[in-house]
Amino acid sequence: MANKNPLKICETVLRDGHQSLAATRMRTSDMIPALEQLDEIGYFSLEAWGGATFDSCLRFLNEDPWERLRTIKKYLKKTPLQMLLRGQNVLGYNHYADDVVTEFVKRAVDNGVGVMRIFDALNDVRNLEAAMRAAKQSGAHVQGAFVYTISPFHDVNSFVKVAKDLVDLGADSICIKDMAGLLAPYTTYELVKTLKGQISIPIHLHSHYTSGMASMSYLKAAEAGVDIVDCSLSPFALGTAQPATEAIVAAFEGHERDTGLKKEDMYPIADHFRGVKKQLAETFKLNTAIDIDTKVLSFQIPGGMMSNLLNQLKEMGMADKYPALIEEMPKVRADLGYPPLVTPTSQIVGSMAAFNVIMGRYKNVPREVKDLARGKYGRTPAPISKEVADLILKGEEIITHRPADDIPPQLEGLKQALAEKGYPNASMEDVLSYAVFPEVALKFFETNRK
């Protein structure tokens, strides 16, 4: 008899799996042979676009990300294609004007996106308004996401409040986005149970295996009634990626949350991606054997970021300062109002901590740190330390309104700028690529648009 309440799965092998384990280097040609088989599995959705894939296509793979989206969509007849969008940041690191956000979302849906997961690094829902409204008007399934983190200012009730605000903005489902793998199993149970008790739309859980707890958290989430979980096929699972799809399917076989999916159908697809992973490691000189790191539970620094910071210190001949940097990160995070550590706040906090250990505390303050402190990225979960604010802001204006209200329309100016650079007939998709990654896009156009 068919299970009445199967646990649904979003498959992340085409996006977060390789973003986490292979530096987002999977090419469209690596995906095509598996797309029709993936489409037959019965997933809730296939996450295949957004996040770092857009940048990586243009910067490293000489691929048009819009063409990738259209190509994948062509093969998916049954399964919605899902993307990850950073709210007012779109896929970049700064806020864009509402006209850019709206047009980007509209074009993404027109080119094939069916489910759009939208989040803001600070959980400031004002930064999600434009993107969620545009996605809703375009006919996509709008998934409002909040990023999970741990601090004295975050608890179950604070996350439920954000979730309710996302429902008010028209979300079709809510995602708990645990980007650093911080969710412990029993906390997960309490959070999901509370959300299910107060919110009527589906709850989706996204976690990373970084601390080694994600599979246990998925089990407790399922017991608490979570509707959907993110998994990645085994070659691109575990480490800093998601739990393995086949293992999660097997774990629920014959039980009341049985997924109804057949793990045996996944084996040949996993074999294909095992070959892809090996080839990517050789071609791009990647270390894809990434271990779990339980230190993330103390420092909350995503695994990839820790290795980047260490490499940067090594290049400067200061690798000996790495332990001090790891100690400094949580202090800077507290000073700056406990932002969750996800792009772009993780980079902002990380760079400030690096400057502090190299040059002395707050002796040299990057512009982005000042902008975060004065509210240009949105409202921080806690107030900025008064001592630090006085030291670094020196009377600069504090922004208390929605930051994007200060950004005049940009689209026409971008079209004009691109025309002046020799592309007067650029497609709207190319204009949007240029909007989000101007230098990288121009380099791509020089090779591919002449």
Q: 124 phi and psi, to 5 degrees?
A: -90, 105
pLDDT reported for residue 298: 81
The answer on pLDDT for 450 being more than 90 is: no
pLDDT confidence band for 199 (50 / 70 / 90) = very high
pLDDT for position 304: 62
Segment 52-66 shows an average pLDDT of 97
Question: If you average pLDDT over every residue of the chain, what do you get?
Answer: 95
322 Cβ contact list (under 8 Å, min separation 6): 309, 310, 313
Q: Model confidence over 238-271: pLDDT tens digits?
A: 999 999 999 999 999 999 999 999 999 999 999 9
Statement: residue 290 has pLDDT above 90 = no
pTM: 0.95
pLDDT, position 204: 98
Inform me whether the pLDDT recorded for 386 exceeds 80: yes
Name which of 148, 143, 114 is nearest 131 in CA terms.
Answer: 143
- Structure confidence at residue 2 (pLDDT): 62
Who contacts 23 (Cβ-Cβ below 8 Å, separation ≥6)? 56, 284, 286
Q: Is 186 helix (H, G, I), strand (E, B) or coil?
A: helix
Q: pLDDT class for 326, splitting at 50, 70, 90?
A: confident
Is the model's pLDDT at 362 over the cut of 90? yes
| Percent of the chain clearing pLDDT 70 (strictly above) | 98
Q: What is the pLDDT of residues 120-146, one digit of tens each?
A: 999 999 999 999 999 999 999 999 999
- Which positions ≥6 away from 311 have C-beta within 8 Å? none
- pLDDT tens sequence across 148-165: 999 999 999 999 999 999
